[in-house]
Structure 1
């Protein structure tokens, strides 16, 4: 199959490389000439484990190419995927569809023969209808079907998620489109990935509903963590106890400083806006957003409380800046309100992250960055773990204690065991692990 992928951001680049690895002929298109030139040189603009090798091997095999001109790839394509950004619109939280609409018009002008145009970007319900209207308005004679195929990729595990998906959702009622997209995903049949065909609007809503539900699980366990601290319970054991129930499941029940990233905050806000546009109030999702925002802001106060109630003039070492490990993504990262709050409370902040410091400097320019975690904590009055990078799990704790001016560790990801930290003489604060009263 010949595939044109419009957009070389996170979704477009990962999807394009994986489709090429399936054996399809894929051309990725982007208006950013510098990005395309870098990709042709083998330089990957995002950090995703294994993506550089996957891209380079398929370029070498002649199955993957990059260009700024969509005319030829779209004209030759059996399927055209729209994978451009849909950031939150300023003011109302609705998804900004300007890039999707622009792509639809450009695609329409160069379509040739029967083509399936697929929205892979996360888009509000009804976007496929508007894409179809724009394409038919621009090119009334086009032989085209518009489908929806939302992505469910986790940053840091995107390639595995693409090749071993829980499900593939395709929104179309057209038999020709079902056959084309069935052939696109046919290589996954060996993995027995369930191919789920739905109506287009249903597919669009599935994406938002999935992210909102996962965000709700995270927010739920974070509120239980607050209660666990007060009553002397261990939220990690609570999470395991409820996660063993098959109706609940253990994933996304890890207490921490709140969810971030490119999907959950943006998509939950957009879902609330979609509902309001249709006179529906999603009270649970609205509460999830409010609780999550409040939690992020509260983390700086948690550090201050652990440090005796004041951070003025003290140095705080922050380990981990990206919203999760195995990515360089700083979008909506909990580290941003945390660090901002620490600075507002009068602290001096140093930070380290294995791969995200270049991106972090754009968001947090007023702090010191260290290339080594031990240098980061040297002479600091407190160390705060914000992102659960595996490198931080294996740090030499004896050395950490020697480097710190004051042996205070605030572990917002619960990567250390309280008994180990106590034995080494740390003052240790974690999330949702209260001290059970002695009997």
Structure 2
């Protein structure tokens, strides 16, 4: 491993990319600690302690704690992700956007430009909601989170948060272009792994106080290693459909018969289903923080992590969004038509409609297996805390673990590709990591 790291810094271009990525991530983490003007940070921190397990907690995880501190990066990269998902869904619904997506590089640049505009619009809307919501928040002693509310505070907060999101979006694009890995994914990854030092410190405190036994800690660490290994195994898993191409004559050139394959991943939807499912289920708990009605409070309490009803709805929504998002992003009819146009076919299957139906049946079974896998990983924290009564000092499992492992695999795969193309040993000897894309 030490030799692999040395190989990275022997290649000037790769060294420059790695250092640039680390530098941009450092800038992002510094920005997460710059507070938004006009807010009482102590009263705000008390409010967020009461909002554990709500939609605010989910957004705070993706912002790397910036929302809890209400820094200039409080909105994080979520507006950009939301805008990207919206335009990805509109590609199926709106013919004009679908036409743009099929125009190659020029069309993709146009959609990226629209995505940026959508990000700014969503940031303004979310910033307005946060500014108005902050004015109504109070600390444990009844003190106002915003000492001097009014339109001056609202406009300043909207401009600050929108500018922060635009800057993060620029950072992500710069890392993608001039660094290693996907910049947007790395920003989310940094926000997740930055909690590791505090989790280690909390673990030491629990062991010293006797609230966490050494046997329980060893059990959790072994379980963590097993779950991470399972995630890596499943994320790399794919069903390869053999594609045969007959002999073709194009002009004066003759192309001999070729054999290829179409890879269908077990987890085609990625981490989108648990994000959508968490957002929907945590919405009642978030509303309950602002509405002091007993019935609403009771219903929201039933839909908090650790409750059996929460797990049932969570798994149901994950399965639904796995099928929905896979259907949106992968069209078997279009893929079958493209294979037919290039003279390809699946052995034993007629080109065209039968090929489309065959791929659809395989994709349905793969998506079911992927949905069960995502559900098990995402309900793992609830099972550990509720079922085994473990007093965990950190959040293990769920969307954060899927993102962290997936982004890590993608980044290692890109580093390996740079090393191998320059005749160096891979980053991991004897192993070839394939990225998710």
TM-score (norm. length: structure 1): 0.25
Structure number with higher helix proportion? 2
Q: Relative contact order, CA 8 A, sep 6+: which one is greater?
A: 2
TM-score (norm. length: structure 2): 0.25
